[in-house]
Every structure is written in C-alpha cells, then in structure tokens.
C-alpha cells in the first residue's frame, strides 16, 4: 500500500528494521521478528507488542519501502506491505517506472519533490472512491491495512471505523484495537508474544449494552451465543456504542427481519456504509421521529439560531433543521417550543440587512416566522428560495390539503383525479366523521358536561389565536397541558392529523386514498377474509358499527391499507384502532392516521411477528425495573407484564379501557408517541402497586388490573350514556374507587415525564436484538423438535448442525447485495421453511461436512444429493432435508448408506455432468452447478407446477390453504418406510458412474487395494448375472456389445466402461442391461472389506467442532 510520504530517522529505526534490498534512491526493509524462526527472540516479542499498541500501521506492517536522499539520515516512508509479494510488487513498479526518470534531475531536492508528488498522485488515484468519505483518509488506509492483515476477511468486508480499547480476558485487560465492519466486530491484540484475535458476527449478538462496575468504570458488554465480552477504556465510548448499536441492528434487519430491511433502501448496499453515513442517518431518523415527518424526508442542514415567539415576546434558542420539503425548529429544551413549516405553505423568504442576521419566512394565513442570529444567513436564504420554487411546481394550489386559520379541519380534495373518479368516490367514501353523524351535538341542551366541553374548545381557540392554527402552529408546553386535559370532540380529528403528521402525508398525496379504494374493491385474499371476519367485532356496542355506514367505512379503510402495504396486510388490533379513528376523523383522514401509526409511530407492530410490540414490552419491563423495583422483586417472572401489556400496546389501551376514556389516551399518543403509552402503563402499575404486591399468582394480579380498568371513567365526556362503556357499571360497582382518566394521565406525566425520547430509542435498539434472537431461538427449538424424530443424531449434534447450516446461509449473504437465500426468508412460513439453502450453499456445506467430500467427483455428488433432497424442485432445501442426508452418511447402516448412493445415481437425482472448463477436472463452476440443479425443473416446469399446486400449500403470499397443509401433514405421518423393492433399476451408464463413485470413495483409504479388488469382483459378478439372466429370458437374442467378458482376474470398472462404449450404434432400447438395488446390495454384502468400509464408525461430534471453527476461516485469506 502506498503511504503519504513521511520523514523517518533511519538512525533510530535500524534496531527495529532489517535491510532486504536497496538502490541509489530506495530501500526495502523487513520488520525485525517477522519471518524469523522463533519470532526473533525477545526483540521480536517486544517489537510485536509495540506494533500492536501503537497507532501507526507504517510501524506495524512487516515490510516497508523508504525513499532515501543521499548523504542524509532522513528518509521518507512511501510504501508498506503485509507480505513479501505485495511489497515486491511495489518495489518492481518503482524500478520500472521511477528509477529511469530520476536520473534526469540535477538536484536531490527536485528528486525528492518528484517522488513525493508521484506517490501522492498514486494514493489519490487508488483511494478516490474508497476513502474519500472518511475524515482522515491516510489514517484510515493504515487501519484498513492492519485490519486486512490481522483477520484476512474478503475484500468486500467493509471496515467502517476502528478504536483503541482494552478487552477484558478474565480479570486482565488486553490493550489492542477494536474494528467495526459491516458484518463483524473484531478485536486484535499482541502483547509479549500473546496474540488475541476475536471475530464476532453482528447477527450473533443478543445483548449489547453500556455497563459500569467497580473495576470497569464504563465498558461495553457484548453477549454472543452465550459468551460475554467486555471492552473498556474508550476515548469516546458513547460514539463507539452508538455505532455498534447501529451496525448490529442493521445486520439484524438485513438477515432476520427482511420485511423492514426491504423498506429501507438507504442501507441496501453494505459496501456504501461509512461511519459518517451512519451518524448522519441516526440524526436524520431522530429528526423525522421528533417532527413526525414522512419517511421519505432526510435531514439536509442544521443551523443554530433564535426563533422570535410573538405571543411570549422573547426569542428562544434552538436549531433550525431543513429537509427536502420542510423547515423545522426545536428549542434547546424540546418541550419549550417547536415549529414545522412545510415548503408548500411558504409564500416568501426574506432577509434583513441589520446585524441580527435574520431570516423571515412568510406562509399562508398571514403568518411570518423570524429566525435571528443565523450563520451564513444569505446563502441559506438563497437555498431556501430555490427549494420553495421547486416545491411550488410540485404542489398545485388546487390540490393542496391544508388546515388554515379559518377552517375546522383538513378538507378532502382529490385534486388532479378525473371528475368521474371523484364523483364515484364521493358515493362510497364518507366525508364526515362517524361521531358527527351518529352523535351530533345538541346546542340547545347544554348540561354541565357540554359546558365543560365548550370551555375546552374555548381554551383551544385562545391557543390558536396565539400560536396559530394548522400544520405550522407553535407547539409549546401549553399545547401539551391542553392535550393532557383531553382534546374536545369537535377538534379531535383535526388535531390527531396535525400531531401525528398524517396531515402532511395526505397533503402530498391528493387523491391517493380514492384511487387505492377503487383498486382494492373486490380483491380477495387472506387479508380481506380476516378483515371480513373482524368487522363486526370492532366496537360492536357503538351504534356507528351496528350500521352499514360504519362497517362499510371500516372495510374500505382496512382493505385499502392492506392493498397499500401487502407486507403488513391486516393484523388483529388494526380493526379496533381504525374504528376509533373513524369516529373522530373523516374516512380519508382515518386512512392516513392508520398509515402514520403502522409505518412511523409504531414501527413493526403490525407485521406477522409483532416484533415492534414485543420490543416495546421489553422496554416497558426495563422501565418497571428502574421505576418500580419493589414490584420487580415481588414478581419473580417478568413475563407476566409482557402477557398483560401486549393488548395495551397493540390497541393503545382501547381494548381495556372504556371508549370515552381510551380516546384521551389516543390524544396523548398522537402528541407524545409511545412515550405516552409507557408512562401511562407505569402509572397504572404504580396506582395498583399495593394490590399487586399482595397477589399470590398471575391470575389474581390480572383480576385486580381488570377491575381497575372497569372503574376508570371520564367524568367530562360529553358522549351519550348509551355509547359510554364506563357509565353502565357506575352504579353496580360503587364500592370500588372510580379513577378519572384525566387525573391518571396527568399523574403519569408528573411522575414519569422525565423519561426522554432518546432513552426510549436506545432501549428499543438494545431490546430489539434480544427479542429477535429470542424468536430465532424459538424457531431453532421447534425445528430441532420436529427433525429429531427422524434422525439418529442426538440433540446437541443436531443443534450444532443447525447453527452451521444457518451460518452458511448468512455467510453467503454477507458480501453479496442480492443473495437468493435471503429472498426466501419468510417468517410467516412454517419453522422448517424459514431458512432454506440453494445448491451453491449446499455444495460448501457438503465439502465441509460430508465424509465422502474427499472424493474426486465431490461436486457431482453434492449436486446429485441436492437434487435428491429437493423433492419439490424449487431449487431450495430446508434443514430437515439437509440433516437427513448428513445423518445417513454418519449414522446410517450399511444398507442405508448404500441406498443413498444408489439413489444418487438414478433419476431424479442423477444427471450427466460435463464441466465446460476441462482444466478444473471434476470441479463445477457456480453457473454450471445452478444449471444442472435446475435441469429437471426446466424440462417439466408445467407438470411440476401443477403437481406442486396439488400437493403443496401456497407459501407466504395470498391465501393459505389450511386443508392442503393438513393433508400434507397427514401424508407425512402415514408415510411408511421406503421399500427397497420400490426403487427403480439402474441402467448401464448409471451403473458405470456408480462404480466410478465407489472407486473415488475408496481412494487413500487404508484398505484401498482390497476395496478396489472387492469392487472389481462385485462388478464382474453383476455383469455375469445380467448376461445369464438375459440369455434365459431371450435365448434367441444376440448380446451385441457384451460378447467380451473379463478374463480370470475379473473385469474392472474400466473394462465395463469400454465394453459399453464398443458398440454405440446398437439400439439403446434393445440389449440395455440394468440392475436392481437388491442385486447390488447382495453382491456387496459378500465382500467384508466393503462392509467394513461403510460400517466404520464416524465421529460426527469432532467433525462439527472442526467445521464450526473453520467455517468462516475457509473464506479468509489467512
């Protein structure tokens, strides 16, 4: 590797370096202790230790080239290398390209300047793509060289960053270097001859946290496959931890949670991940989550400034954040003041000429925002004006959906949709909230509750007059206080749209909902069937959902969303949430609110494995341990809280609280996000703490909580009594204390309002690793339970084999952007089908594991085995199929092993294999392997498809045929042991290949000679038997091609082959000889050497241990 020229004082360096080559201008040196027997003695050990600790690869690379200036002790280091081959290549280049040129210069100074310029040019050319994004390209190049030298991972493994730290091995810290790359966490240390090399794949990490103990003031704890690792003494531990957290979650998404990863194109290319990119992405995600912006937005610029708050008459300090379509501001204390300005609302952007460096943004509704003390404000104004022009062309005024100061809420406007489409849509889509249809307010009869409701409305109107109304209103502490008190019924839909950010989604997609409704009408799939089943279970006691109006609206919204996002489709609990949304929001608004909840505010909640909800439950448990330790001590099993709280998170308490109280919770959720739900959950447990501490079991605790929920009321709710769920029980259970929901929410804010968004995000990331690894462990245990019934391996061996199987799938996906294996990972499938390998991955595992992998035709054997196992011809096999083959090879009887070999040499497994590249012998290229594995499929694709349609239930997509699954399961249960008499006969070409395979298997065996002799005797015997049999059945026929028989010594496999090839003109259908499996088995049983070979015990446990340690190493260059 070429290095930026730096001065080296040769006088002090001679003790550490040895001269290898030199000429007039250059010197090639080798590091002392490298390449010497015994490591170079004590000096070599000390040098190695120094190399490991010092932060300069120029000092630790074993070879280097210096440019020497004659008559001077100062040299310039210009290149270094990890091995002799690399450094020799550089040396030869210098001799061929530089030496001749240097002779034309007159002075040594000119020579040195020329060499420096040339080397810098080489570095710039070499690293213009790879290192341009790094803060210090030169240092990063050096670290990359050391990383490659220490671990030898493939070139595609992208180093993201590196840190100096200590790794605790027992009670002893080892100083070294921590390398974070796209797929691995790696550590290297070399101290006084003791080398420590650690490689942990991110996908194996189940726990990642910052810890602090008496010995370790602050360290990072990594748990991988039951092993615990501690790293400490970081210069920037928070930065290191955040990057590790991001890389671990990226790997988890890519390998385990493909649904989420597919929706995340930013990280689609592992080779493009950089430290700066990850930091930028983290800030961008935080920005979108805080301001509830559409997921397409990315943070572009951040400026510190002051925002003038007119109603308070002061300027608040904070940050202006700019994305593609929004200008946002948040005060230093995020709760004090925040503003969101969509560029579609902006009318003008001006700057002042005074010393305040002000930027004034005017928006529709005669409102202006003044930002003071903006750095580079003139350039910022120019940029924002360009953005506004672009936005004005994108959004036509007639298609906008805005909330202006004189409106009651967002309006439906389908803008550019054809008039006929709008008319048709107006017939089907409700343009009013169901609450206004079924419970219009009676202004003549103002009771005390209605008066309170009017007072709430008045409070909000005062706020609107001060802070503005609509998407660009000031959001202050007063706003939160009013939300906690409960949003008035008439404003609820409008403010839910505003606080959730759904108003922006709807504004930027005019007419989208009408279009999706039209396209989704009449569709029939699993999601629509489930929706139909649950429609009348959604708030069945409410009059709105006892009528076709409400039911039809609910059907349209849920079906449209399932059509929009088929990966989520429909999940139980979505119906309950959507019912409440439809009560207070217009139908189109309810759709966009559902989008906001499912895709932004509660990520991964409504997918097949409800990962998001499980993660937030784990966060909730963590908060319980922190804030209610006495409850944790009493409840020995924390899973109780998970089982109880799942419905709280999935339905935002709607399923457990009366509707009039639950809507207040939804108010807070749309304003504060998941933080509101976590705070309320803690407040509920705290309120019931004494009762829960006296409970003896889980059932008693559940009863206590249910009784509490029954007695939560909303005393200020203006809903009529026939709708209120809590009012029906007021008189019956008067002995129990009533709890007002407003008081409960206020208490949750006072006691637990200190919980920060940043802490919740960090806990979510940390617990996501644990949740997904737990789900993976469950999958593994279920697979092992099913497979263990059909194999002779013990559970430990099966467990290790499963780990190797899955690891191979992941390793093959580490360095390839579009790995076919990952495309087939579908968590909705049965446990066995979730992970499947293709032919290439199977070949690698076959080479590593099979006792027959030493055979010369091992690629062909791997191919035939794969084809045999791939019964449904989808070119993929699961773990059950894979383990069945390995089990026969290691634990099968003589007959079972022979039957496997026999089946490999007859259709459908067998196909003639001819490698296109004769230089590779029997080796097959990846393309050839895939071609031969699909050969049979391509011939009979239609037939196979029809057959698979009959026998196999549809996987993953659309409607799942439960009856087909039950039928398949029954067939498997009734499947009898395969009778050897049912096996087809083996023809002559197949038998010749079978004989070749046996010869290859016996190669280098201790009994090789006797095995060869035995197989020759068996072959001769079988040929004689077949010849005699044919003469008996057709004595008149002539046996062309078989007149020659072997001599007394018996025919070898080669003789048999030559006999077959003598008369190619003879008709194939005539005189074809073939063998039944019983004939071959009986003949081989007569040869003790052959029986001993196949019945020899094989140590599978040792093999598995060896493969586990070498599986990754086989991919490295070390």
Report the pLDDT averaged over residues 363-372.
Answer: 90
Using pLDDT thresholds of 50, 70 and 90, give the confidence band for residue 6.
confident
Residue-by-residue DSSP string for 638-702? THHHHHHHHHHHHHTTTTTS-HHHHHHHHHHHHHHTHHHHHHHHHHHHHHTHHHHHH--SHHHHH
The encoded tokens of residue 50 equal: 């120094």
Distance in angstroms (rounded) separating the CA atoms of residues 955 and 958: 8
Per residue in 283-295, pLDDT (tens digit) is: 998 999 999 999 8
Give the ranges where 103-257 is alpha helix by DSSP (H): 108-127, 137-151, 237-255
Q: Are 371 and 319 in contact (CB under 8 A)?
A: no
Higher-scoring residue by pLDDT: 82, 780: 780
**pLDDT in the model for residue 932:** 79
Task: Give backbone dihedrals phi and psi of 1011, rounded to 5 degrees, phi first.
Answer: -70, -40
Report the pLDDT averaged over residues 616-636.
Answer: 89
**pLDDT in the model for residue 815:** 76
Task: Give backbone dihedrals phi and psi of 264, rounded to 5 degrees, phi first.
Answer: -130, 75
Residue 675 has pLDDT above 90, yes or no: yes
Distance in angstroms (rounded) separating the CA atoms of residues 187 and 150: 9
**pLDDT in the model for residue 614:** 92
Q: 310-314 long-range CB contacts below 8 Å, 24 or more apart? A: 311/466, 311/467, 311/474
Give the ranges where 128-231 is alpha helix by DSSP (H): 137-151
Using pLDDT thresholds of 50, 70 and 90, give the confidence band for residue 682.
very high
Indicate the average pLDDT of the chain.
81
**pLDDT in the model for residue 428:** 64
Q: Are 595 and 505 in contact (CB under 8 A)?
A: yes
The encoded tokens of residue 606 equal: 């409504």
Report the pLDDT averaged over residues 863-874.
Answer: 91
Around Cβ 1092, how many Cβ atoms within 10 Å?
14
**pLDDT in the model for residue 43:** 56
**pLDDT in the model for residue 463:** 95
Distance in angstroms (rounded) separating the CA atoms of residues 901 and 995: 10
Q: Are 210 and 241 in contact (CB under 8 A)?
A: yes
Q: Are 696 and 763 in contact (CB under 8 A)?
A: no
Residue 596 has pLDDT above 90, yes or no: yes
Per residue in 773-823, pLDDT (tens digit) is: 999 999 999 999 999 999 999 999 999 999 999 998 888 878 765 565 555
Residue 370 has pLDDT above 80, yes or no: yes
**In sequence order, what are the residues at sequence separation of 6 or more whose Cβ sits closer than 8 angstroms to the Cβ of residue 1083?**
1018, 1021, 1022
Using pLDDT thresholds of 50, 70 and 90, give the confidence band for residue 830.
confident
**pLDDT in the model for residue 460:** 96
Per residue in 298-333, pLDDT (tens digit) is: 999 999 999 999 988 888 999 999 999 999 999 987
**pLDDT in the model for residue 965:** 59
**pLDDT in the model for residue 1061:** 39
Residue 13 has pLDDT above 70, yes or no: no
Residue 873 has pLDDT above 50, yes or no: yes
Report the pLDDT averaged over residues 28-51.
Answer: 62
The encoded tokens of residue 84 equal: 């002799």
**pLDDT in the model for residue 602:** 92
**pLDDT in the model for residue 335:** 66
The encoded tokens of residue 597 equal: 């909840």
Bridge partners of residue 29, in order along the sequence: 19, 64
Percentage, residues of the chain above pLDDT 90: 42
Per residue in 474-504, pLDDT (tens digit) is: 999 999 999 999 999 999 999 999 999 999 9
**pLDDT in the model for residue 400:** 42
Around Cβ 282, how many Cβ atoms within 10 Å?
16
Going from the C-alpha of 264 to that of each of 267, 268, 582, 775, 811, the distances in angstroms are 6, 7, 30, 22, 21
Report the pLDDT averaged over residues 215-221.
Answer: 78
Distance in angstroms (rounded) separating the CA atoms of residues 922 and 359: 73
**pLDDT in the model for residue 259:** 57
Higher-scoring residue by pLDDT: 259, 424: 259
Distance in angstroms (rounded) separating the CA atoms of residues 218 and 158: 28
Distance in angstroms (rounded) separating the CA atoms of residues 234 and 120: 32
Going from the C-alpha of 529 to that of each of 532, 534, 558, 902, the distances in angstroms are 5, 9, 11, 48
The encoded tokens of residue 363 equal: 């928006």
């Amino acid at each position: 590797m070429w290095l930026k020229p730096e001065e080296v004082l040769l006088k002090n360096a001679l003790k550490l370096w040895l001269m290898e080559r030199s000429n007039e201008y250059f010197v090639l040196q080798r590091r002392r202790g490298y390449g010497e027997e015994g490591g170079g003695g004590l000096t070599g050990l000390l040098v190695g230790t120094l190399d490991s600790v010092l932060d300069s690869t120029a000092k630790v690379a074993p070879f280097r080239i210096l440019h020497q200036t004659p008559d001077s002790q100062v040299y310039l280091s210009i290149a270094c290398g990890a091995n002799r081959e690399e450094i020799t290549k550089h040396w030869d280049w210098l001799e061929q390209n530089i030496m001749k040129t240097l002779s034309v210069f007159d002075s040594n100074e000119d020579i040195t300047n020329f060499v420096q310029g040339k080397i810098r040019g080489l570095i710039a050319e070499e690293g213009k793509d790879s290192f341009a994004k790094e803060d210090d390209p030169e240092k990063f190049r050096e670290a990359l060289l050391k990383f490659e030298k220490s671990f030898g991972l493939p070139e595609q493994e992208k180093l993201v960053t590196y840190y100096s730290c200590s790794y605790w091995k027992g009670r002893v810290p080892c100083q070294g270097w921590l390398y974070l790359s796209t797929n691995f966490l790696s550590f290297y240390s070399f101290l006084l001859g003791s080398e420590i090399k650690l490689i942990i794949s991110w996908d194996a990490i189940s726990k990642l946290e910052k810890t602090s103990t008496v010995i370790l003031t602050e360290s990072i704890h990594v748990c991988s496959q039951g092993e615990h690792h501690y790293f400490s003494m970081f210069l920037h531990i928070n930065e290191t931890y955040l990057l590790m957290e991001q890389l671990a979650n990226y790997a988890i998404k890519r390998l385990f949670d493909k649904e989420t990863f597919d929706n995340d194109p930013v990280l689609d290319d592992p080779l493009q991940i950089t430290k700066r990119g990850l930091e930028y992405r983290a800030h961008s995600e935080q920005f979108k989550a805080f301001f509830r912006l559409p997921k397409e937005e990315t943070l572009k610029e951040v400026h510190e400034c002051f925002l003038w708050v007119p109603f308070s008459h002061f300027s608040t300090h904070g940050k202006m954040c700019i994305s593609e379509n929004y200008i946002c501001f948040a005060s230093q204390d995020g709760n004090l003041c925040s503003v969101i300005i969509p560029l579609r609302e902006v009318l003008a952007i001006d700057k002042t000429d005074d010393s305040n460096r002000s930027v004034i943004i005017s928006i529709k509704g005669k409102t202006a925002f003044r930002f003071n003390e903006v750095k580079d404000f003139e350039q910022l104004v120019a940029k924002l004006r360009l953005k506004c022009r672009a936005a004005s062309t994108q959004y036509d005024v007639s298609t906008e959906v805005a909330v202006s100061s004189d409106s009651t809420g967002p309006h439906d406007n389908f803008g550019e949709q054809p008039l006929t489409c709008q008319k048709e849509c107006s017939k089907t889509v409700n343009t009013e909230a169901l609450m206004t249809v079924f419970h219009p307010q009676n202004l003549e009869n103002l009771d005390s509750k209605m008066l309170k409701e009017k007072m709430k409305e008045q409070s909000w109107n005062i706020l609107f007059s001060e802070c503005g109304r609509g998407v660009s209103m000031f959001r202050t502490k007063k706003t939160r206080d009013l939300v906690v008190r409960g949003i008035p019924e008439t404003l609820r839909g409008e403010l839910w749209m505003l606080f959730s950010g759904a108003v922006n989604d709807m504004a930027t997609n005019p007419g989208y909902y009408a279009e999706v409704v039209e396209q989704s009408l009449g569709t029939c799939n699993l999601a629509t069937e489930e929706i139909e089943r649950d429609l009348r279970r959604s708030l069945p006691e409410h009059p709105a959902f006892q009528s076709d109006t409400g039911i039809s609206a609910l059907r349209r919204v849920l079906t449209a969303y399932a059509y929009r996002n088929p990966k989520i489709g429909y999940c139980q609990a979505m119906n309950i949430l959507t019912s409440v949304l439809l009560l207070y929001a217009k139908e189109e608004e309810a759709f966009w609110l559902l989008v906001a909840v499912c895709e932004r505010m509660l990520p991964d909640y409504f997918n097949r494995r409800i990962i998001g909800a499980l993660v937030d439950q784990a966060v909730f448990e963590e908060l319980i341990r922190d804030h209610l330790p006495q409850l944790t001590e009493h409840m020995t099993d924390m899973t109780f809280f998970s089982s109880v709280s799942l419905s709280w998170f999935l339905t935002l308490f709607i399923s457990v609280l009366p509707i009039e109280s639950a809507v207040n919770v939804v108010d807070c959720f749309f304003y504060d996000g998941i933080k509101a739900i976590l705070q309320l959950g803690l407040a509920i447990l705290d309120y019931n703490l004494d009762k829960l501490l006296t409970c003896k079991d889980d059932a008693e605790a559940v009863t206590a909580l249910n009784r509490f929920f029954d007695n939560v009321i909303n005393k200020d709710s203006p809903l009529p009594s026939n709708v209120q769920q809590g009012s029906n029980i007021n008189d019956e259970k008067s002995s129990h204390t009533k709890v007002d929901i407003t008081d409960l929410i206020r208490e949750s804010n006072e006691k637990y309002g200190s919980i920060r968004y940043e802490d919740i995000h960090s806990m979510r990331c940390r617990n996501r690793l644990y949740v997904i690894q737990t789900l993976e462990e469950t999958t593994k245990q279920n697979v092992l339970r099913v497979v263990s019934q059909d194999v002779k391996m013990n559970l430990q061996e099966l467990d290790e084999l499963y780990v190797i199987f899955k690891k191979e799938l992941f390793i093959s996906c580490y360095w390839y952007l579009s790995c076919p294996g990952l495309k087939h990972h579908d968590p909705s499938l049965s446990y066995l089908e979730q992970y499947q390998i293709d032919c290439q991955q199977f070949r690698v595992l076959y080479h590593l594991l099979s006792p027959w992998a030493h055979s010369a035709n091992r690629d062909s054997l791997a191919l035939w085995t794969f084809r045999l196992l791939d019964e449904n011809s989808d070119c993929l096999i699961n773990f059950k199929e894979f383990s069945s083959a390995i089990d026969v090879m290691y634990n099968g009887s003589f007959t079972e092993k022979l039957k496997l070999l026999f089946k490999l040499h007859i259709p459908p497994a067998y196909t003639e294999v001819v490698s296109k590249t004769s230089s590779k012998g029997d080796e097959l290229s990846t393309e050839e392997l895939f071609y031969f594995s699909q050969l049979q499929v391509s011939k009979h694709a239609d037939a196979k498809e029809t057959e698979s349609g009959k026998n196999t239930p549809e996987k993953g997509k659309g409607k799942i045929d439960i009856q087909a699954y039950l039928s398949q399961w029954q067939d498997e249960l009734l499947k009898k042991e395969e009778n050897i008499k049912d096996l087809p006969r083996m023809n002559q070409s197949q038998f010749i290949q079978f004989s070749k395979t046996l010869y290859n298997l016996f190669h280098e065996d201790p009994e090789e000679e006797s095995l060869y002799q035995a197989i020759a005797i068996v072959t001769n015997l079988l040929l004689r038997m077949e010849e005699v049999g044919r003469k008996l059945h057709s004595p008149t026929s002539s046996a062309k091609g078989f007149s020659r028989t072997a001599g007394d010594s018996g025919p070898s496999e080669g003789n048999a082959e030559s006999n077959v090839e003598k008369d190619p003109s003879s008709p194939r259908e005539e005189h074809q000889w073939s063998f039944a499996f019983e004939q071959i088995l009986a003949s081989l049983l007569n040869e003790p050497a052959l029986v001993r070979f196949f019945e020899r015990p094989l140590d599978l446990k040792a093999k598995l241990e060896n493969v586990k340690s070498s599986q990754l190493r086989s991919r490295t260059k070390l």
